[in-house]
Structure 1
Amino acid sequence: MRHRLASLLCCMLAAVIGMSQPAASQGFAGLGTTAKGFAMPRTGYAFTFPADHGPHPHFRIEWWYLTANLKGADGKAYGVQWTLFRSALAPGDQPGWQSPQVWLGHAAITTPTAQHVAERLARGGIGQAGVSPAPFAAWIDDWAMRRPDMSATGGDALDDLNLSASGTDFRYSLALKARGPLVLQGQGGYSVKSAAGQASFYYSQPFYTVTGRLDLPGGAVDVTGQAWLDREWSSQPLAADQSGWDWFSLHFDTGEKLMGFRLRDKGAGFTSATWIAANGQPEPLPPGALTLTPGRKARVADRDIPVEWRLELPSKGIDISTKPLNPQAWMATRTPYWEGPIRFSGSRSGQGYLEMTGY
């Protein structure tokens, strides 16, 4: 029986994360394939918190995705990633081993000279991984993002979080405190991903301040900084001809934020962005308002990847150029991608994160 369950789990994970599928460039769960039977995002959805901080099992794919720009007591810059993905082989959920839900965790620390990466896989329904909306807790094995006082009430469930993860050569433990409101991306949280109308439900908490510690091969480092949490779920967020994306989350030194992405296809691609005022007021921008131009490439994992970019947003007077903390910030996971901290300068200055998939 154990061998049958292990075999079933391996087959499920292979199907979910594209281990045996040629369309792996679209990333986790074949995001551009058909999604018959699953729920689809619709305009006019009224978000309800804390319920929407939890899982949505009738949708095929979902994530809790945190990135942090940090500075160590040693004067160096660092980046941290913590991500929990949920994917479903069938809509809905069932108890125990009958659950069609599978979970994938990614964690990383980026330094100027190294990329430390770990990955976890889990089966749903048996307590190994999951998300509880209230009190908020997201976990896979001993990795966790959770409210520090599980009996606390008041405020949003994501306002205060403790974050932890580890790999063979790293560990981190961070405390996050939100200094601004949740932000609905796109039109009231409905984020369009293609001219054909693919979309997701998408909101963020981009206002975290961070304190904590990184444990690295060279020793422990106390850190402070900023973090950004993205929450997104859908069933078919990419069109069939879209091969990957270039996604930016930017913290301007003047207090504003910008989320922007380009989804690559055989043509000019599809771009979208949300301008976030310093007080948290979002301004969704029309497709094409943000121009993303790749610059210098680096040879990363036997492929050429654009690690420097120019971003132009004329309506806000933005013309900036980005540089990575570490050009080799490669996530060597089952579905590999580039992800790491960046700094930018030009008409504005600041820091943020860049994710690139499908290269």
Structure 2
Amino acid sequence: MSIGVTNSHVVFFIPGREIPYIKSRNNTRISEFLLLGVSEDPNLQPLIFRLFLSMYLVTVLGNLLIILAIISDSRLYLPMYFFLSNLSFVDICVTSTTVPKMLVNIQTQSKAISYSGCINQMFLFLIFVELDNFLLAVMAYDRYVAICHPLHYTFIMNNQLCVLLVLVSWIMSVLHALLQSSMVLRLSFSTHVEIPHFFCELNQVVQLTCSDSLLNDLVMYSATVLLATISLTGILYSYSKIVSSIRAISSAQGKYKAFSTCASHLSVVSLFYCTGFGVYLSSAATHTSQLTAKASVMYTVVTPMLNPFIYSLRNKDVMSALKRILGGKM
């Protein structure tokens, strides 16, 4: 057995065990958390399992089809579809980080998630949600260049810039997730910790600590607000310029064509930010954590599931590519 010491914990690494026991200085130990899910009613568990399994399969299948359509059709080798394929990949990852563990727990009639599993789930979820946030801003910039500077679009949105924008989004997301996860590692918890959620959501975990969480709260809300503000400001600025350019177009047909290229992205942006802000506002306004868990389903499960439909149904090029993949049966 090896022993590691942190600022607030003594960590015992026991051979043959999957995770270490965490012993805080007040002599309490924790090796796992309990996820209470969206409902504790045992009669609802079969329905919840079928519902979430269906949504998960639709999300994975829908987003995979979008990625395959973009890869298989050379006409879709454009910046906007490159960003869309990245968004679809991230949407699969967001859902895969949270839903499978919940489904396994329902099937095994267990609520447990290991300490390391909880931290890893939190870390990955923060990466992919923040990536969603940044990619939506990048896609707004792409639409801004396409509509406001159409003659220079190919020159500005070159392959190097597109890859760089995605790479910077990944780096920023990983750094943010590392910061938030490392802040949680310094916290102590009671022996039995019940998380009133279906996954290890950062805010819910921090609220359950028996340590002083003031610094965690400051870092958590400051970083989240800062990153969300940066992305949202970029989106709003891009669309303010887009609206000005569209208003300057003389023909109604030209205005409709320009606006239609932004409609899908606007729908996804509205869905993502409205559901996300709704969750955090509801968590701030109510002490009913189970209600927050239900609200979180919207932006963690429903939004990634709807994104492929929004982009495919409103985009003729994507629809044509999907028809070819599915043998013209659409």
TM range (shorter): under 0.3
Q: Considering only CA atoms, is the larger Rg found in Structure 1 or Structure 2?
A: 2
TM-score, normalising length from structure 1?
0.22
> Normalized per residue, which structure has more strand?
1
What TM-score do you get using the length of structure 2 for normalisation?
Answer: 0.23
Higher RCO structure, 1 or 2 (CA under 8 Å, sep 6+) = 2
More helix by share: 2
